Amino acid sequence: MANSQARDEFSKRLRKAFQDKGIGTDSPTWLSGEFSENYPGRRVTQQAVRKWLNGEAIPSHDKIKALAEWLNVSPHWLHYGEGGGAGHSAQQPATPYRSALPDQELIRRYRKLNVRQQQAVAEIITALAAKDRRR
C-alpha cells in the first residue's frame, strides 16, 4: 500500500473509532487536549492530531497504543486495518470495562468535585459494589 494511501486509511479508521466511542468532534485542539490529559506521558500537539485526521501522518507506535486503549480498539486494527473481519471490535478480546483514564486521573477529577457531587459518586459506587456482591 502506498504511503499516502496508508495514511488516508489510518485517518478513516481513527475517525471511525472516535465516532464509535461517541466522540462527536474532530477538533484537533479538543482531541489533543483530551489525549494529553488522559495520557500525560504521551502528550500530543494539535498539529499532530490534525495530521492524523487529515491523512498526512500516522502516529508513532506508542501513540497508536495509547489511542487504541483510549478508543477501545486493537492497536493492530487501528494502525493496519487488519483482522476482525467487517469491524474492529472483533480484534478486542471480551474484557471488563476499564476506564481510559488512569486511576490517578479519576481520583484527581473526583477531588475537583464539590462535596455534594463527591457524596453522590460515593453513593453510586457503594450501590454498584453492593449489587456486584449479590451476584
3-91 domain in CATH 1.10.260.40? yes
Q: What is the pLDDT of residue 13?
A: 92
The predicted-structure confidence for 7-45, as pLDDT tens digits, reads as follows 999 999 999 888 888 887 778 888 888 888 877 777 889
Q: What is the pLDDT of residue 132?
A: 61
Q: What is the pLDDT of residue 96?
A: 45
| Residue 113 Cα distances to 21, 54, 87, 102, angstroms | 25, 36, 38, 17
Q: Which residue has the higher pLDDT, 2 or 38?
A: 38
What percent of the chain has pLDDT above 90? 22
Q: Which residue has the higher pLDDT, 2 or 92?
A: 2
User: Whole-prediction pTM value?
Assistant: 0.60
The predicted-structure confidence for 95-119, as pLDDT tens digits, reads as follows 444 555 667 777 888 888 899 999 9
Q: What share of the chain is helix, strand, coil (3-state, %, to 5)?
A: 65, 0, 35
Q: What is the mean pLDDT of residues 49-62?
A: 93
| Residue 122 Cα distances to 24, 53, 59, 99, 103, angstroms | 29, 38, 38, 17, 15
Whether 47 contacts 96, CB under 8 Å = no
Angle at 41 between CA 65 and CA 9, to 5 degrees: 30
